A and B are shown apart, each in its own frame.
Chain A
Amino acid sequence: MFPGVDGFHWTFAHVIFLAIFFAVGMTIVATTVLALWRAHRDVKMRRVDQLRWHAEFEDLPEAERTCRHELAGRLEHRTCPNAFACGTCPEYSTYAALPTDAPEYTFGMDYPPNRLYHRGHSWVREDEDGLVTVGLDDLASRLVGKPDAVVLPEKGQWLEANGTGWRLRKNGCEVRVMAPIAGEVAETGSAAEGWYLKLRVPPEMRQWRHLLRGGEVPGWLLRELERLQLQLAPEGSAPSLADGGMLVDGLMDQMPEADWDNVMGGTFLQS
């Protein structure tokens, strides 16, 4: 094994064999140490939120990674390869110039056009006082109804886009609502107030191309309602077309027997 230890001889075969063995051993050790060091660096530099989002995105089924341009009817089919980071998508401008062909209604739900929407069902609105208000969108609010508990970030805390915005608990299900944008928490609200956070966002960070808007919203909602219908359908039932009607308030309370853990995961993009 080593010079001087019983069994070792300075022969060509011994040296080659042990050199290969030690090279393999060193590679394994170096790989492990490198992974540990880089993980430590990620934690220290607060990159974990981004890593978590990328991991969640990779776990999303292809149907839930639909490109915004497909939602808006600009393209027939396109799956997002870029974790919904439209700001860095090289194809964005090309497709954004195409005409939209999407439904204009929002299925009886309240999606004001002056807000931008995150796929994790939160919304963003720029206020006149320079702050940015963040809330839970109508579909998610109708599902959850009145939450049992809400854990909000502290004032002054910095939030990363796609990181944890706040946490909701309802009927034993706990979910992380993703922060739709990055910013410093200036105020916190509640479900009753219709918003959860007011953020202070530096001007250079007000690039929110990743958020849905205008004609993209109805197409996204349609798919979300279809997903919801499939997830809430009784086991073994055949797929059926939506027959109209509006989503009731507090669906979690109305259908306590449903697999809400799964539904909430799909709604808030968490596996």
Chain B
Amino acid sequence: MASTTMIDRRYIARGVERTGTARFAMWLAPWVLLLGIGLYAAYLCLYYGLNQTNMDNRFAFGLWIFLDLSIIALGAGAFFTGFLVYLMKMKELKAVLNSAVVLGFICYSGAMLVLAIDVGQPARAWFTFWHPNTHSMLTEVTFCISCYLVVLSLEYIPMLLKNRQLKKAPSFLAFEHQLHILVPVLAAVGTLLSFFHQGSLGGLYGVLRGRPFAFREGFSIWPTTFFLFILSAIAVGPSFLALTTRLVEKITGKALIPDSVYQRLGLISGLLLALYVAAKSIDTLVWLNVTSPAVGFAPWEHYSYGQFGIWLMAAEIGLFGLVPAGLLLWPRTRAQRGWLLTAAALACCGVLLNRFILTVQTLALPTLAFDEFMTYTPNWQEVATFGLVVAYGVILYSLSYRYLPLFPQEKELAGAVTEEGTHVSGR
């Protein structure tokens, strides 16, 4: 029954229930406020420069680059789900594909936004394409992320055109249909691009010979961090997707995807996470015993400063790697929603910790005799810009969920009967 006032009802698909317009506006209000504060901080940084932040010559990478690396890793669910659905023919995952695309679009556009503020002079952004430094991993990252954002936009457009009002226009309907047919091509291109930019973001640290904490040997021009970044991103992508979907289910009080999809996401994430933990462990052992001593650093020296103790390594590989991999691979824990989501959350925390260590710990440790250990704390402008991206993501996802068909099985699941015998309904 339609019980709440919805002045925007005609923009919402038939057969799905959404909360009243006023309640939805109240949900958006704090995020809009956060967005406003973030925009002001971004304005300060763009107008006055990076002296508005706590970054300096030592900490050229701070909260923003940590945010970039993290959301790009979490957003890997977009390309990886597309790869699994269109190239590996795992049709079951179509249930989360649209949501994955929106999340990917938010993550990548958010990352580009922060990079534009960090690099500054956005009007000159085209310089990086016209005068590329082809010896830099960052050039590859820039090229791939820019192209992939275009791909994500093209994948997002068909969803946008499926809005109840937009699809009434014949040309929109036809364009949506034709783009949908060509989406496997875009999925393949997206996979290629993501493979390289996820890798190059990791490679960026691995090639830092002057930073023994991050430096790694590897294969040809690619250090091991290149491959570890790819593996960790595709391992946590499905976990992040499961987590966000469950969060939306909790907030809206609705079932959006069948349990089998959660199970499948958990299994894929578990398998890849186990592979990642194995690769990461081998890499760490080689680094501890060969790479670091070879450049004159006893490996445990890296863990003798401030809070950056050996516990960080143990937490990264054990608590946030081995434990969630085990929970996701063991059928009994994977079958229980609570354990599955706990494992997914741990896996996501693991990738955040990994990106934090590589970004902040690498720069904090001294590398020369006259260097000192330094710490860095972001100031309000940096935090507010971080908040800007979060608020932008929440707002765009909320609007997409309300007006677009993010979960194609929502209608069917709304008609399903719960264990208590009542119909699943929600807001």
Q: Determine if B422 is an interface residue (Cβ-Cβ < 8 Å).
A: yes
Q: Determine if A257 is an interface residue (Cβ-Cβ < 8 Å).
A: yes
Q: Which residues of B contact A86 (CB under 8 A)?
A: none
Decide: B417 and A239 in contact? CB cutoff 8 A: yes
Q: Determine if A230 is an interface residue (Cβ-Cβ < 8 Å).
A: yes
In the complex with contacts A7-B133, A42-B178, A24-B192 CB distance below 8 A: yes
Decide: B171 and A271 in contact? CB cutoff 8 A: no
In Å, the complex CA distance between A271 and B411 comes to 10
Between A and B, 15 residue pairs with Cβ closer than 8 Å are: A13-B134, A25-B147, A28-B189, A35-B182, A47-B174, A48-B170, A51-B173, A61-B412, A63-B412, A236-B423, A236-B425, A239-B423, A258-B2, A262-B2, A271-B405
Interface size on B, residues (CB 8 A): 48
- 3 interchain residue pairs of minimum CB distance: A265-B14, A39-B174, A39-B175
Decide: B14 and A24 in contact? CB cutoff 8 A: no
Q: Determine if B9 is an interface residue (Cβ-Cβ < 8 Å).
A: yes
In Å, the complex CA distance between A25 and B177 comes to 22
Decide: A259 and B423 in contact? CB cutoff 8 A: no
Decide: B189 and A27 in contact? CB cutoff 8 A: yes
In the complex with contacts A24-B193, A55-B167, A1-B130 CB distance below 8 A: yes
Decide: A35 and B175 in contact? CB cutoff 8 A: yes
Chain A binding surface, main DSSP class = helix
Q: Determine if A253 is an interface residue (Cβ-Cβ < 8 Å).
A: no
Nearest CB of A to B375, in Å: 37
Q: Which residues of B are in contact with A by a Cβ distance under 8 Å? A: 1-3, 9, 13-15, 129-134, 140, 143, 147, 150-151, 154, 162, 164, 167, 170-171, 173-179, 181-182, 185-186, 189, 192-193, 405, 408, 411-412, 415, 417, 421-423, 425
Query: Within residues 216 to 271 of chain A, which ones have a CB less than 8 A from any CB in chain B?
Result: 230, 233-239, 257-262, 264-266, 270-271
In the complex with contacts A28-B151, A262-B14, A238-B422 CB distance below 8 A: yes
Nearest CB of B to A260, in Å: 8
Decide: B171 and A43 in contact? CB cutoff 8 A: yes
Q: Which residues of B contact A264 (CB under 8 A)?
A: 14
Output the residue of B1, B173, B423 with the most chain A CB within 10 A: B1
Nearest CB of B to A230, in Å: 6
Decide: B154 and A28 in contact? CB cutoff 8 A: yes
Query: Within residues 1 to 21 of chain A, which ones have a CB less than 8 A from any CB in chain B?
Result: 1, 5-7, 9, 13-14, 17-18, 21
Decide: B1 and A235 in contact? CB cutoff 8 A: yes
Decide: B134 and A7 in contact? CB cutoff 8 A: yes
Query: Within residues 104 to 129 of chain A, which ones have a CB less than 8 A from any CB in chain B?
Result: none
Q: Which residues of A are in contact with B by a Cβ distance under 8 Å? A: 1, 5-7, 9, 13-14, 17-18, 21, 24-25, 27-28, 31-32, 34-36, 38-40, 42-43, 47-48, 51-52, 54-55, 59, 61-63, 230, 233-239, 257-262, 264-266, 270-271
Decide: A236 and B422 in contact? CB cutoff 8 A: yes
In the complex with contacts A230-B415, A257-B1, A21-B189 CB distance below 8 A: no
Output the residue of B15, B130, B175, B193 with the most chain A CB within 10 A: B15
> Which single residue of chain B is at the shortest CB-CB distance from A7?
B131
In Å, the complex CA distance between A42 and B170 comes to 9
In Å, the complex CA distance between A35 and B260 comes to 34
Q: Which residues of B contact A270 (CB under 8 A)?
A: 14
Decide: B9 and A235 in contact? CB cutoff 8 A: no
Q: Which residues of B contact A265 (CB under 8 A)?
A: 14-15
In Å, the complex CA distance between A262 and B417 comes to 19
> Which single residue of chain A is at the shortest CB-CB distance from B9?
A261
Q: Which residues of B contact A35 (CB under 8 A)?
A: 175, 178-179, 181-182
In the complex with contacts A24-B147, A32-B154, A55-B167, A266-B186 CB distance below 8 A: no
In Å, the complex CA distance between A97 and B15 comes to 36
In Å, the complex CA distance between A60 and B104 comes to 27
Nearest CB of B to A184, in Å: 20
Decide: A59 and B408 in contact? CB cutoff 8 A: yes
> Which single residue of chain B is at the shortest CB-CB distance from A2?
B130
Q: Which residues of A contact B129 (CB under 8 A)?
A: 1
**CB-contact partner of B170 in A31, A43, A63, under 8 A:** A43
Q: Which residues of A contact B417 (CB under 8 A)?
A: 239
In the complex with contacts A6-B131, A235-B1, A258-B1, A271-B175 CB distance below 8 A: no
**CB-contact partner of B412 in A43, A62, A230, under 8 A:** A62
> Which single residue of chain B is at the shortest CB-CB distance from A61?
B412
In Å, the complex CA distance between A48 and B179 comes to 14
Task: A59-B405, A62-B412 given; name 16 further pairs at CB < 8 Å.
Answer: A5-B130, A21-B147, A34-B178, A38-B174, A42-B177, A59-B408, A61-B412, A61-B415, A235-B423, A237-B422, A238-B423, A239-B423, A257-B2, A258-B1, A262-B14, A265-B15
Q: Which residues of A contact B175 (CB under 8 A)?
A: 35-36, 39
Nearest CB of A to B287, in Å: 27
Q: Which residues of B contact A261 (CB under 8 A)?
A: 2, 9, 14
Q: Which residues of A contact B13 (CB under 8 A)?
A: 271
In the complex with contacts A21-B143, A24-B193, A238-B421, A39-B178 CB distance below 8 A: yes
Q: Which residues of A contact B162 (CB under 8 A)?
A: 55
In Å, the complex CA distance between A236 and B411 comes to 16
In Å, the complex CA distance between A162 and B162 comes to 19
Q: Which residues of A contact B171 (CB under 8 A)?
A: 39-40, 43
**CB-contact partner of A51 in B15, B151, B174, under 8 A:** B174
Decide: B1 and A259 in contact? CB cutoff 8 A: yes
> Which single residue of chain A is at the shortest CB-CB distance from B408?
A59
In Å, the complex CA distance between A40 and B147 comes to 25
Nearest CB of B to A73, in Å: 23
In the complex with contacts A5-B131, A47-B174, A261-B14, A234-B182 CB distance below 8 A: no
Decide: A51 and B177 in contact? CB cutoff 8 A: yes
Nearest CB of A to B326, in Å: 36
